[in-house]
Amino acid sequence: MDEADEVLLPELDGPEPKPLLPRALGWLSLALGVGALAAPGRLAQLTGVDDSPLAPTVIPAVGARELVHAAGLIRGRRPAGWAWTRVAGDAMDLTLLGRAWGDRCGERRRRVALTTAVVGGIAVADLLAAVGAARSRRARERVIRMEIGVTVNRTPADAYRFWRDVENLPRFMSHLESVRAEDLRRSHWIARGPASRRIEWDAEIVDDRPNRSIAWRSLPGTRVPNAGRVRFVPAPGDRGTEVRVQLRYAPPAGALGRVVAKLFGEEPEQQVRDDLRRFKQVLETGEVVRSEGSPDGISVRQQVIQRPAQPLPPARR
């Protein structure tokens, strides 16, 4: 495989958004930190605490803390954790300002009140950034990835051509009821989910390399976001084509939903493995080879009901 084929899977629901708010707050921390260390006296005057004997010590300490926040947030690593440290810092600052406001009067009290309002607004932004970053992290953590392959006795062009016609997919993907092509790139999918629940979504092809690979992703709004890529690689020794499927999806019920689905033979990795086996059969023989005893999957329940196979009557083939 050449380097041109080494393309990452498309992100679920589009490219992953950059953490703009945490990074913006990082730059704000940098400005506050530099200001507090470079001109603590001026900052104390602006905030109305220039008469406090603790101000020359507290303000540089707050500035150093802000520089630490800035280093973490601007680098963009673990934005949720760093945003929560800013929330904690805001709580400390608001506590100190509340005490300062009660001890002052006149112009200094007005400045402390104004500073408190500004810090309160920043605290709200910090809280939103922390909650948003934590949600994004949890969403990334529940995404499940898999890669499965099969070798078919057909050329890459044959395999690509069959798969590229998305309306062929229900012929070997047993959980699909239908796929309707809207245009050359977009399609509408209807599938049977766990407990026979019907799931519909729209998908788009985001990268199409004839006879080599196809990449797709679900459009925003689907209940089970998914994205994937299928590659068609010539097998060594002229043995046909290696069809390699990479898939990522976000199960709606997390790990519990995955365990329950696996128990009932509806675990997606198992489905993909069985789908590829049926794809091989359809491409090589023109139909899915089944028998009267063939189970749908490898779950405990399906294995229990498996029995010695008998040829299917013509009407059921």
Q: Which of 7-21, 51-65, 92-106, 242-256 has the weakest average pLDDT?
A: 7-21
H helix runs in 152-205, sequence order: 156-164
Write out the H or E segment, with its range, that includes residue 69. Answer: helix 55-75
d(CA 11, CA 175): 23
Exposure on the CB side of residue 211, measured as CA atoms within 13 A: 7
* Number of other CB atoms surrounding residue 102 within 10 Å: 10
Strands of the sheet with 226-234, listed across from one edge: 144-152, 241-249, 226-234, 213-218, 198-209, 186-192, 176-181
Amino acid in position 3: E
3-state secondary structure of 307: coil
Q: Are residues 106 and 226 in the same domain?
A: no
Query: Within the chain, how many helices (H) and strands (E) appear?
Result: 9, 7
Q: Identify which has the larger pLDDT, 265 or 288.
A: 288
Residues 93 and 188 grouped into a single domain: no
Tell me, what DSSP letter sits at residue 1?
-
- Write the CATH number for 280: 3.30.530.20
**92-124 pLDDT per residue, tens:** 999 999 989 988 889 999 999 999 999 999 999
Residue 160 has pLDDT above 70, yes or no: yes
Q: Kind and range of the H or E element at 198?
A: strand 198-209
- Residues 225, 90: one domain? no
Whole-structure pTM value: 0.56
At 251, list the tokens.
Answer: 């199960």
C-beta separation of 216 from 206 below 8 A: yes
Count up the domains in the chain and report the number: 2
pLDDT in tens, 221-262: 777 788 899 999 999 988 899 999 998 877 665 565 665 555
pLDDT over 90 (residue 161): yes
Give yes or no: residues 189 and 275 share one domain.
yes
**Is 298's pLDDT higher than 70?**
no
* Domain carrying residue 39: 20-140
Is the same domain home to 159 and 289? Answer: yes
Report if residue 113 sits inside a domain: yes
Count CB-CB contacts under 10 A for residue 262: 17
